[in-house]
Amino acid sequence: MALLSSTCLTLADWASRRGPDGGIDDIVNLLSQTNEILLDMLWKEGNLPTGNKTTVRRGLPAATWRMLYGGVPRSKSTTAQITDTCGMLEAYALVDKDLARLEGDSAAYRLSEDMAFIEGMNQQMARTLFYGNEQADLGAFTGLAPRYNTLQTAKAASAVNVMNGGGTGSTNTSIWLCCWGPTNGFGIFPKGSAAGLQVNDVTTDAPVLDENGNPFQALQTHYKWDCGLTVRDWRYFGRIANIDVSTLTGTSAPNLIALMTALTYKMPTMPRTATNIQTATMANGGAPLSFGKPAFYVNRTIATALSLQAMNKTNVLLSLQEWDGMPTLMFRGIPIRVCDAIMNTEAAVV
């Protein structure tokens, strides 16, 4: 029963979840994380059953300074198509029916396990958004890091938006700037499917087989999240890589403010401050500009360093403001969001 005890709830698990009154105790989830990118990113149904195909313009038609009695060469634009695939993130929770009968409120007992599965899937989704690579894991989708994984423009055009924080070892982290929008980039789900995490009770009288192939009756919950990521315009996403977390203070510390400022100017049309947003909108005849929804994403190490810098009143670029009804650290009017999925052990990007 070693296999079942590691993947299914046992009597010991049942006993360990009892409160002093004999009911299901409130479980403190010490493994919970904050990944605010899951709250920010836009979602859109893909145009393929397996993902989304995007057509991008790769070249503009050439114009000619014509002379009298001279002709004009014909020209055309060039395009390319990029396909982003979705992954199928799934899990099953299993509890023996006789074990469930020991609990007067079996629904509450199963809910305590549901919360753990939902947290686990959220964390895995967030990790994949940053580090997923379908070349290494065929079942996953490709996240941001493999798309922005070099400083050399000869290897990838997106290298223009990858900045070097100076770290060379394996104690690095990154700051991401994402501008979510329908023409920039968004999360996708397969055509004809449902968006978001699906939680379904598997209602069947068919028995479940143990590791020896013997049947038993069990209650099952199926968790399913079909999702992916498409970056339609790589210019609206950027990365400050190679930030050595062991040198965030002192004379050798990277100038995060300068790097973040430079990264905002990598975005083609995005206003840099709240004032500029208003000015640009007025210049557009009062119509809001469709530059997307920008946000910086950092882990707690970088968020702490930036928050300490925000306490310096001479630092006017960092400030605490209200955003979506919550006090949020802002940089040039762009919210800084915390994502525990961003690691402090990234290898150097070269």
At residue 313, the pLDDT reads 63
Confirm whether 72 is domain-assigned.
Answer: no
Q: Report pLDDT digits (tens) over 11-61.
A: 345 445 545 554 444 434 444 578 899 888 889 999 999 998 988 777 888
Give this prediction's pTM: 0.81
pLDDT at 196: 85
Segment 234-258 mean pLDDT: 91
Q: What CA–CA distance (Å, rounded) separates 140 from 133?
A: 7
| pLDDT at residue 3, as a whole number | 37
Q: How many angstroms separate the CA atoms of 277 and 289, rounded?
A: 8
Sign, CA torsion 240/292/342/227: negative
Please report which confidence band the pLDDT of residue 167 belongs to, taking 50, 70 and 90 as the band edges: very high
Residue of 318 and 12 predicted with greater confidence: 318
Which residue is associated with the tokens 């403190």? 28
Helix (H) or strand (E) holding 241: strand 237-244
Per-residue model confidence (pLDDT) at position 21: 52
More confident call, 31 vs 107? 107
For 24-28, 173-177, 320-324, 327-331, which range has the lowest pLDDT when averaged over its residues?
A: 24-28
Flag the least confident range among 95-104, 128-137, 267-276: 267-276
Summarize the confidence of residues 176-189 as an average pLDDT.
92
Residues 250, 251, 255, 257, CA torsion sign: positive
Mean pLDDT, rounded, for 229-233: 93
In a domain, 95, yes or no: yes
Give the confidence band of 256 by pLDDT, cuts at 50, 70, 90.
very high
Task: Tell which residue, 303, 295, 335, 301, has the closest CA to residue 129.
Answer: 295
pLDDT of residue 64 exceeding 70, the answer is yes
> What pLDDT, on a 0 to 100 scale, did the predictor assign at position 204?
77
The answer to whether residue 197 sits within a structural domain is yes
As a whole number of angstroms, the longest Cα–Cα distance in the chain is 97
Residue 266's pLDDT is what?
Answer: 92
Q: What is the pLDDT of residues 296-308, one digit of tens each?
A: 999 999 999 888 8
User: What average pLDDT is seen over the chain?
Assistant: 82
Residues composing the chain: 350
In a domain, 36, yes or no: no
Domain that holds residue 311: 2-30+42-56+82-338
The answer as to whether 194 is a domain residue is yes
Q: What gap in Å lies between CA 287 and CA 285, rounded to an integer?
A: 6
Domain count, the chain: 1
- 317 falls within a domain: yes
pLDDT at 30: 42
Helices (H), 96-251: 97-101, 106-131
Q: Helices then strands (H, E): number in the chain?
A: 8, 16
pLDDT-derived band at 242, boundaries 50, 70, 90: very high
- Give pLDDT tens digits for 273-296: 444 444 444 444 444 444 688 999
**The two three-digit tokens of residue 13, written as one number:** 């698990």
Higher pLDDT, 171 or 70: 171
Nearest to 189 by CA among 162, 228, 232: 228
Question: Span 100-117, mean pLDDT?
Answer: 77
125 inside domain: yes
Q: Which backbone phi and psi does 3 adopt, to 5 degrees? A: -65, -45
Would residue 326 count as lying in a domain?
yes
